[in-house]
């Protein structure tokens, strides 16, 4: 217990200290929200990765999908690395950084306003962000309850409040720069932590080959009659597994807190380095989490899914580890949760301040007042998320639980296609953005409220969210072709940033005087 408490105190102390020393970089809006657009490649890559993976992944998703699909759940982690990181950086990174700086937008709603010339689009995007980020923020605490109960035997509410307060302190003090530096440290902890835990769990089962052989002996007639299905390449349900891969991988392309990381990139080198680092990070952390969860059924004698749910799978797998490793797991999950929490509350507060309050409700808001209001709203958002998390834990409020499940699908489904086409396609129209916004939010809310009316495949919020993302990629170009064309001068001004000439070293690109 002494080792666990000591490691927690050291961890929290470092986080708060970094927030304190970064306060000088957060005196204006650009510094507080984007770190002055001067964040290096490693910090940006780790900020992206740690915002991506939270306790929801490690405890909730890894346990649930590992139990359902066996070792095939590792495909989710591979998809997160290749689609959610590698492709996202290559397709969105450079263009997002260039156009958002050219349009002087610090948030995704501001991008929609400047790119499509519509203040109403900005307000709608800000409202969608606010509505669906709050329950997503609350869901981050869920994975902590069982782990802290296992490690410290203390009340869940105390854990939630402590984590929320300490995260709030360093975000409020240091803004995006403090978040990025802390994300880097938390990311290192996550990498070493997940590697240590995977090796320890496999060792407890006699090694990788013995564990895989044991998994091949597991059968569940309710799932499949095929022998060794949980140790197979695609598992017992490849179609639903594909839905998980799409939602958790493609979804990052449309989540405001993820895309906003590209706004702060410093240079071209940061993009190439960040692409490699974030992809490697995703392979290790996401791949490791889902790979670990895939062996959950080896511990089925100690797990009662009907009584305790899928969140009990991973904590049960870890309960027999040495105290020092349990302490590492607690720090690992705290790191994952605090990094994502800091990203979400910073995104929520900046969106609310810059896109809703500024100009529409509070006139003549100078830089100092904007930063102050963002700091106040961070406190408000964290407080709301804590209340929701504790309410759900104590009352098992199904409405809140369902709202958390649809938040990712609604956000990414609404924003992914308009943002992607807005960066690349001049013919994207304002009407297409509206249709995408409304389609995804309505579908996901309907999935939550009248789920039984949906086709069997889409009754799962995960599949419904994946469907909304793919549908948006089809809807936006079709609607754009049949609705009034965008203002030509507005479009040409937005895309003019890509035509600016820059000078590079000959080591990066050959000059014109080449031998024939």
How many C-beta atoms surround the C-beta of residue 86 within 10 A?
Answer: 18
Separation between Cα atoms, residue 115 and residue 169, nearest integer Å: 34
pLDDT, position 266 = 74
pLDDT, position 402 = 58
The stretch 24-35 carries a mean pLDDT of 69
The more confidently predicted of residues 170 and 403 is 170
**Is it the case that residue 269 has pLDDT exceeding 60?**
yes
Q: Do the Cβ atoms of 390 and 164 come closer than 8 Å? A: no
Separation between Cα atoms, residue 430 and residue 178, nearest integer Å: 36
The stretch 190-217 carries a mean pLDDT of 89
Predicted confidence band at 50 (pLDDT cuts at 50, 70, 90)?
Answer: confident
Does residue 31 fall inside a structural domain?
no
Does residue 193 fall inside a structural domain?
yes
CA 223 to each of CA 218, 227, 241, 316: distance values in angstroms, whole numbers, following the listed order:
11, 11, 14, 22
Q: Which of 61-65, 111-115, 370-374 has the highest mean pLDDT?
A: 111-115
Separation between Cα atoms, residue 180 and residue 84, nearest integer Å: 19
Q: Which of 14-28, 56-70, 207-221, 256-270 has the highest mean pLDDT?
A: 207-221
Question: 3-state DSSP helix/strand/coil percent for the chain, to nearest 5?
Answer: 80, 0, 20
pLDDT, position 69 = 92
Coil vs helix vs strand at 76? helix
Domain tally for the chain? 1
Reported as a single tens digit per residue, the pLDDT across 237-248 is 899 899 889 988
Q: Which of 75-89, 94-108, 303-317 has the highest mean pLDDT?
A: 75-89
pLDDT, position 147 = 64
What pTM was computed for the model? 0.84
CATH number of the domain at 168, please. 1.20.1730.10
pLDDT, position 213 = 92
Residues counted in the chain: 516
Supply the angle between the helices 108-116 and 488-495 in degrees, to the nearest 10. Answer: 130
**Is it the case that residue 513 has pLDDT exceeding 60?**
no
Q: Do the Cβ atoms of 190 and 330 come closer than 8 Å? A: no
Average pLDDT, the chain: 82
Name residue, tokens 């919020």: 461
pLDDT, position 384 = 83
Predicted confidence band at 360 (pLDDT cuts at 50, 70, 90)?
Answer: low
The stretch 123-136 carries a mean pLDDT of 85
The more confidently predicted of residues 510 and 293 is 293
Does residue 504 fall inside a structural domain?
no
What percent of the chain clears pLDDT 70, i.e. is strictly above it? 89
Rg (C-alpha) for the chain, rounded Å, is: 23
pLDDT, position 516 = 45
Among 157, 186, 158, 156, smallest CA distance to 171 is for 186
Name residue, tokens 């490649």: 41
Where b means 16+ CB within 10 Å and e means fewer, 270-308 reads: bbebbbebbbbbbbbbbbbbbbbbbbbbbbeeebeeeee
Among 297, 238, 261, 202, smallest CA distance to 76 is for 238
pLDDT, position 73 = 92
Separation between Cα atoms, residue 163 and residue 186, nearest integer Å: 14
pLDDT, position 514 = 47
Q: Which of 81-85, 186-190, 305-309, 448-452 has the highest mean pLDDT?
A: 81-85
**Is it the case that residue 221 has pLDDT exceeding 70?**
yes
What residues contact residue 294 under an 8 Å CB cut-off, 6+ apart? 66, 69, 70, 71, 72, 73, 74, 215, 230
Long-range contacts of the stretch 232-238 (C-beta < 8 A, 24+): 232/70, 232/71, 232/72, 233/72, 234/72, 234/75, 235/68, 235/69, 235/70, 235/71, 235/72, 235/73, 236/68, 236/69, 236/70, 237/68, 237/69, 238/72
Distance of CA 513 to the CA centre of its chain: 46
pLDDT, position 443 = 93
Does residue 464 fall inside a structural domain?
yes
Please give the residue range of the domain that contains residue 172.
2-23+39-499
Does residue 512 fall inside a structural domain?
no
Coil vs helix vs strand at 10? helix
Does residue 418 fall inside a structural domain?
yes
The more confidently predicted of residues 126 and 391 is 126
pLDDT, position 130 = 83
Does residue 29 fall inside a structural domain?
no
Name residue, tokens 């204006």: 28
pLDDT, position 405 = 65
**Is it the case that residue 515 has pLDDT exceeding 50?**
no
The stretch 238-260 carries a mean pLDDT of 88
Does residue 165 fall inside a structural domain?
yes
Which stretch of 33-37, 77-81, 189-193, 315-319 has the lowest confidence by average pLDDT?
33-37
Q: Do the Cβ atoms of 315 and 147 come closer than 8 Å? A: yes
Dihedral sign, Cα of residue 463, residue 469, residue 474, residue 480 = positive
Supply the angle between the helices 256-263 and 108-116 in degrees, to the nearest 10. Answer: 70
Coil vs helix vs strand at 363? coil
Question: Tell me, what DSSP letter sits at residue 89?
Answer: I
Separation between Cα atoms, residue 441 and residue 128, nearest integer Å: 8
pLDDT, position 396 = 59
Reported as a single tens digit per residue, the pLDDT across 403-457 is 666 788 899 999 999 999 999 999 999 999 999 999 999 999 898 888 888 898 8
Reported as a single tens digit per residue, the pLDDT across 145-159 is 656 666 666 677 777
């Amino acid at each position: 217990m002494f080792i666990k408490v000591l490691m927690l105190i050291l961890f929290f102390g470092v986080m708060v200290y970094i927030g304190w020393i970064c306060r000088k970089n957060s005196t204006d809006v650009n510094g507080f929200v984007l770190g002055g657009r001067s964040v290096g490649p490693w910090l940006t890559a780790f900020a992206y990765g740690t915002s991506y993976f939270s306790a929801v992944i490690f405890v909730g998703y890894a346990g649930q999908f590992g139990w359902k699909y066996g070792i095939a759940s590792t495909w989710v982690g591979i998809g997160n690395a290749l689609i959610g990181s590698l492709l996202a950086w290559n397709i969105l990174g450079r263009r997002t950084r260039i156009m958002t700086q050219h349009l002087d937008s610090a948030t995704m709603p501001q991008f929609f306003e400047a790119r499509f010339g519509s203040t109403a689009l900005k307000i709608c995007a800000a409202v969608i962000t606010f509505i669906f980020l709050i329950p997503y923020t609350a869901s981050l605490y869920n994975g902590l309850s069982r782990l802290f109960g296992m490690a410290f035997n203390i009340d869940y509410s105390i854990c939630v409040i402590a984590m929320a307060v300490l995260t709030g302190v360093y975000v409020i003090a240091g803004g995006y720069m403090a978040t990025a530096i802390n994300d880097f440290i938390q990311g290192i902890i996550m990498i070493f932590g997940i590697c240590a835990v995977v090796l320890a769990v496999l060792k407890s089962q006699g090694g990788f080959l013995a564990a895989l052989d044991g998994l091949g002996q597991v059968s569940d007639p309710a799932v499949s009659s095929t022998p060794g299905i949980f140790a197979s390449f695609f598992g017992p349900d490849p179609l639903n597994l594909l839905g998980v891969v799409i939602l958790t991988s493609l979804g990052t392309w449309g989540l405001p807190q993820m895309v906003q990381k590209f706004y702060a990139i410093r240079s071209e080198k940061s993009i190439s380095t960040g692409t490699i680092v974030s992809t490697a990070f995703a392979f290790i952390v996401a791949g490791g989490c889902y790979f670990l969860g895939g062996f959950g059924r080896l511990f089925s004698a100690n797990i009662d899914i009907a009584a305790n749910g899928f969140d009990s799978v991973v904590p049960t797998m870890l309960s027999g580890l040495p105290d020092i490793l349990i302490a590492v797991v607690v720090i690992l999950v705290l790191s994952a949760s605090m990094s994502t929490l800091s990203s979400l509350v910073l995104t929520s507060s900046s969106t609310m301040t810059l896109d809703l309050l500024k100009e529409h409700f509070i006139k003549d808001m100078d830089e100092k007042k904007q930063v102050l209001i963002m700091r106040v709203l961070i406190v408000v958002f964290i407080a709301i998320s804590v209340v929701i998390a504790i309410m759900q834990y104590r009352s098992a409020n199904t409405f809140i639980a369902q709202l958390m499940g649809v938040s990712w699908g609604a956000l990414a489904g609404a924003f992914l296609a308009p943002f992607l086409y807005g960066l690349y396609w001049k013919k994207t129209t304002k009407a297409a953005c509206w249709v995408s916004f409304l389609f995804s939010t309505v579908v996901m809310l309907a999935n939550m409220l009248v789920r039984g009316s949906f086709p069997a495949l889409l009754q799962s919020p995960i599949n419904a969210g994946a469907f909304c993302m793919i549908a948006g990629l089809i809807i936006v170009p079709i609607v754009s072709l049949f609705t009034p064309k965008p203002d030509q001068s507005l479009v040409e001004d937005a895309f003019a940033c890509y035509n600016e000439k820059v000078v590079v070293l000959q080591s990066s690109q050959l000059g014109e005087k080449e031998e024939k």
